Structure 1
Amino acid sequence: MAQLASNKSKASLVRTDTVTISNSVLAQRIQQFSMTLIGRLMNPVRQIMESLVANFPKIWKLEEKVVGADLGQGVFQFNFDDEEDIPSILQNRPYHFDGWMVSLERWEPIISSSYPSAINFWVKVTGIPMHLWEVATLEAIGKKIGKIQEVDEEAGSLCVFVNGFNPLIFKMVVPLSTGDEIVVSLEYEKLVGVCDHCSRMTHDSKVCPEVHKVGTGHGTDEQSDKRGGSKSCIITLGAGKSLGSMLREL
């Protein structure tokens, strides 16, 4: 007992201190990573990091110009020799590996356990009636998905950055002031690997936490499509306004 008391006493004496980092040193480190891309395996249980680090430079045909490294916890980086090689790599996103998606973006001095997690998709929108087809409609839909980068009104497509940890939305319900509803469907180009139940890109349905919730009687009130996933979103529109004006308020 005396020894236990002594150990508790020692534990209570643990001290912390603060270290200040010079701004000049920090600026140098940031500049050092100016030609670095950082990424994340969205389903590290199913994806092999060593294989990705070895094969991505081959896929990019930059074996002699890119050096990759495993940063741990499903995060990796690639350092480039030439700035001119980076835009084409980013232009061809999103990437997938071992049947699941990969987040890949330019390195930024962000301190967060969830960084990086952004994945950009071109999303094809279908189900919009011709008389409601306009940029404002597409933008309202895109804002519900993520951060809009580009809108192609003619093709009915959006380039959107989504949070790779969040469930994807595959349908949107738009109630109109007339009492009618339109159901909009979303198709994510180059999407590979998604849970059939909750629509997340981080696991498959065999290990989905939502499946276990349903099994224990703790279901959710979210909208579901025919595959059972939480994939729909409702856009509520107010009465007495045009569709365009209501969408712009979202």
Structure 2
Amino acid sequence: MSAAMDRALMALSLEEEEEEVPFTMPELPGFSSAEENALSLIGRTLNPECQKMSVLILTMPRKWQKEGRVRGVALSEEKFQFIFKTEHDLLDVLEKGVQTFNEWAIVLERWVENPPDDYLQYIPLWVQISKIPVNYYTHSVLMSLGEMLGEVKVVAFDPSKPIAQPFIRVQVRFNVANPLKMARVLNMGGGKTHIIHFDYEQLQKRCFTCKRLNHEKTICPWEVKKRQDAASSRREKIIAEKSRVITVLKPTDPLFGVLDEEQVGINPMTGRPKIANEVLEEMRRFLIADTGEALTVKIDKVKKSVAEAEKDPIVQKTILRLETIPIITTDLNKGKGHVFDYGQKEAERCNWDLNVNPNKLMAASMKANRNMSSFKAIMSDSKGYSEESESDFRGTLSDLPTVFRAGSTEPCSSGTVRKRGPIRRRPPRAQRQRNMLALMADNSVQEEERRDGKQEVGSRKRKKINQDAVAVVTNKAQCLKVIPHEGSPSSQ
């Protein structure tokens, strides 16, 4: 805080207030806009909540079809001014009668330098008076009927011409603070009455309760008071009902004096009876029945039994209220239908997770080693051990019910088991390859002998190939043979 502010606060006096001298407006030509305001209209909105000023300033020139020839000025949230360029346009707007914006009426009057007290309080309003008595179609009567609404300015009536409409039009200077009168009762004399009706031209919205032009029905003072009176009456009724004590145990009831009113009746927290009616009836029968016991003993038994039951919520629920005990289940998803639960899969993953169980890998490897050792021992006792046999053994292991495999499955007590087809009895793959190589070597020898002319067709039989001979397969390129009369082969 600055030093100047401190000095100002210290010099501030709360006891005496300084009187401000009013500012005197200088009377100079540049300070007054009276000449420009001479061709202007001053107006105000009757329902500012439904009539936005910024929209009104832009909308009314278009509605009057005088865009570019009139300029609007928002004076406040309710008052505005329209400045015209010509006198003709200003008078044309005034002759249109009452003006409306957003379906609510607005007040328009020509600008005056010193406005009177009732300025912007009246609007020119045309009224249609209907259901006039047949003997009262005169200028005096029509003017008197119009005076009920306001100061009569014009009466549109010609008795020498036919009247095609069932009403007479009268223009009045209507005070916007007054409600609109829709009908009026006339005393015709001799105890007779007659009702005439009023209809207002160019008025769109009004309050349908009090018939005023400055608010809607929802915020009408009469409607607000009506709602307040209804709310107060409901409040008083509720208070009276709460103050009235409703006793469950009557003086003629056998349980009167045995149980308190707080022990019976409706529980305000749950809305259910504290003690079921069947239990109360049984208590009454017990007290009335002649069992050879004294009444005081019976009363003491009833009091003790009810007091003990109220101590335990379960006993109170099942014995006093005759309600069933709720079922407690450990299935958290009960009643939800099909629930996709990944809890079991997460547990299986944790069993194989080294961070959770670091000894699992070693135990699994040792178990696999024991299984493989037993397998090799079994295979060594048979014809022999080979990779094909090991693959067959793995294939046999894959038939277990806990191993995933493609193909048809069928359910059983221990899981899903694959339908096993017929067993193919064929030699191992290595033995088949050796037989195939030996056969190919024999065919090549016979072909070479046939080409050299050393073998006679049908002279001897094919010798049996020793199955124990093993042909060695190598990837080394064979030497090219020389073809007679064609020279040496060129390197490719």
TM-score, normalisation: structure 1? 0.75
The 10-residue stretch of structure 1 (74-83 or 150-159) with the greater mean CA deviation from structure 2 = 150-159
Deviating above 4 A after TM superposition, structure 1's stretches of 4 or more consecutive aligned residues are 15-22, 28-31
Q: Which structure has the larger Rg over C-alpha atoms? A: 2
Question: Aligned pair 1:129/2:133, yes or no?
Answer: yes
Tell me the equivalent position of 1:237.
none
When residues 29 and 141 of structure 1 are mapped into structure 2, their CA distance, relative to the original with a 3 A threshold, is: farther
Question: Aligned pair 1:207/2:219, yes or no?
Answer: yes
For residues 127 and 179 of structure 1, what CA distance do their matches in structure 2 show? 19
For residues 174 and 77 of structure 1, what CA distance do their matches in structure 2 show? 42
Find the partner of 2:16 among 10, 16, 27.
10
For residues 44 and 77 of structure 1, what CA distance do their matches in structure 2 show? 15
Point out where structure 2 has 5 or more consecutive residues left out of the alignment: 1-8, 159-166, 231-492
Structure 1 residue 184 displacement after superposition: 1.0
When residues 69 and 17 of structure 1 are mapped into structure 2, their CA distance, relative to the original with a 3 A threshold, is: closer
Question: Aligned pair 1:195/2:207, yes or no?
Answer: yes
Q: Superposed, which structure 2 residues align to 1:1-250 within 5 Å? A: 8-11=14-17, 13-15=18-20, 30-108=34-112, 109-110=114-115, 112=117, 115-154=119-158, 156-217=168-229
Residue aligned with 2:199, SS? strand
CA RMSD of aligned residues (A): 2.6
Residue aligned with 1:9, SS? coil
When residues 20 and 176 of structure 1 are mapped into structure 2, their CA distance, relative to the original with a 3 A threshold, is: farther
Letter of the structure 2 residue corresponding to residue 104 of structure 1:
L
Structure number with the higher helix fraction is: 2
CA contact (8 A) 2:104 2:213 kept: yes
Structure 1 residue 75 displacement after superposition: 0.9
Structure number with the higher strand fraction is: 1
Structure 1 residue 68 displacement after superposition: 0.4
Letter of the structure 2 residue corresponding to residue 139 of structure 1:
M
CA contact (8 A) 2:128 2:200 kept: yes
TM-score, normalisation: structure 2? 0.39
Residue aligned with 2:120, SS? coil
Tell me the equivalent position of 1:227.
none
1:83-108 deviation per Cα after TM superposition (whole angstroms, max 9, x unaligned): 11122111112111112111112122
Q: How many residues align?
A: 209
Structure 1 residue 214 displacement after superposition: 3.1
Residue aligned with 1:47, SS? coil
Residue aligned with 1:184, SS? strand
For residues 165 and 102 of structure 1, what CA distance do their matches in structure 2 show? 13
Structure 1 residue 117 displacement after superposition: 2.8
Point out where structure 1 has 5 or more consecutive residues left out of the alignment: 219-250
Structure 1 residue 200 displacement after superposition: 0.6
CA contact (8 A) 1:40 1:117 kept: no
Residue aligned with 1:86, SS? helix
For residues 131 and 13 of structure 2, what CA distance do their matches in structure 1 show? 67
Residue aligned with 2:212, SS? coil
When residues 8 and 86 of structure 1 are mapped into structure 2, their CA distance, relative to the original with a 3 A threshold, is: same
